[in-house]
Chain A
Amino acid sequence: MTTEPGFLDGNAAAGDLESLFGADMTTAAGQCQGCGLRMRLAEAHAYLGGPGTVLRCPGCEDVLLRMVRSPNHLWLDASGLDYLRLPAAAG
């Protein structure tokens, strides 16, 4: 038996991200604040099923984004990203 790494990718968080941002975020480009790697959020490592959604950099594993849904609020910390770039007028 080999142990599978415990992460999926940003595709698996697509529904939660879209419900927060109101647009598809898997195609959004971002840059890791830690190592400078540029990626699409679809390519980030996603840790799901816990208290919240955590996206990490596929290069250095630093946290890019954390998202928590409580009954009354959605909490977002994207401080691990230098920027997020979305296509304009995608919808």
Chain B
Amino acid sequence: MAVISRGFHGRARDKGHELPPGQYETTGFPVLSAGPTPVVSLDDWEFTVRTETGVRYSWNWQELMALPSETPTVDIHCVTKWSKFGTRWQGVSLDVLLADVESGAEYALVRSYGDYTTNLPLEDLLDGKAWVAYRFDDEELPAEHGGPARLLVPHLYFWKSAKWVSGIQLLDEEEQGFWETVGYHNYGDPWREQRYQGD
């Protein structure tokens, strides 16, 4: 058993909100990276959806900016056990981006600039549950938090909200991403505490 460290509380935490099991509130916004921060110029930025049949849909930065955006305020839950309440974003709903995509796929593999990937069921990207977000707290999304744009899927653990998102591969069969291949859960529902494979 661990020894309790007298007087150690971690970062300030607020027990007033409802937290998923095993989570602790933080008021900061920790930066967690599995690799170097990619440098992506807006001139070269592109978001690509590839279907299971190989059809490709893409948007450059101007095209993304021209799409209707939303400003969700959401709670986010990191699998490293911090949660942050009431984060404010601006981005384009995946419902908008995927509206005209012809697909019968069940799964999605999200890709980022750099070599990051993460997987989730396609339906978790639809029905107002996911965005390509490019502003945070009324500012441009900083590179360390995934700018120019990141995926935002707040109902799942935050590793699914891929930073520096570059596209989505739609798949008939599930294909695991960067953390899922080394033990993290394929779905990652914080309320069911699905942290690891088998949870």
Contacts and interface: CB of A to CB of B under 8 A. Distances in A.
Interface of A: 3, 5-7, 47, 49-52, 54, 56, 61-63, 66-68, 70-73, 75-77
A77 B181 CA distance: 8
Interface string B16-44: 00000000000000111111110000000
Contacts of B32: 49-51
Among A51, A54, A73, find the residue whose CB has the most chain B CB atoms closer than 10 A.
A51
A63 B196 contact: no
B33 A50 contact: yes
A68 B34 contact: no
A7 B179 contact: no
B33 A47 contact: yes
A60 to B, nearest CB: 11
Given A7-B36, A75-B182, A70 B31 contact: no
A51 B182 CA distance: 10
Interface of B: 30-37, 79-80, 115, 144, 159, 178-179, 181-184, 195-198
Contact of A70 (B37, B159, B195): B195
9 contacts: A51-B159, A63-B115, A68-B183, A70-B195, A72-B196, A72-B198, A73-B183, A75-B182, A77-B181
A45 to B, nearest CB: 8
Nearest to B37: A6
Contacts of B181: 77
A68 B35 contact: no
B21 to A, nearest CB: 13
Given A68-B182, A68-B183, A68-B184, A51 B79 contact: yes
Nearest to B195: A70
B116 to A, nearest CB: 10
Contacts of A67: 182
Contacts of A68: 179, 182-184, 196
B59 to A, nearest CB: 27
Nearest to B31: A6
A75 B183 contact: yes
Contacts of A61: 35-36
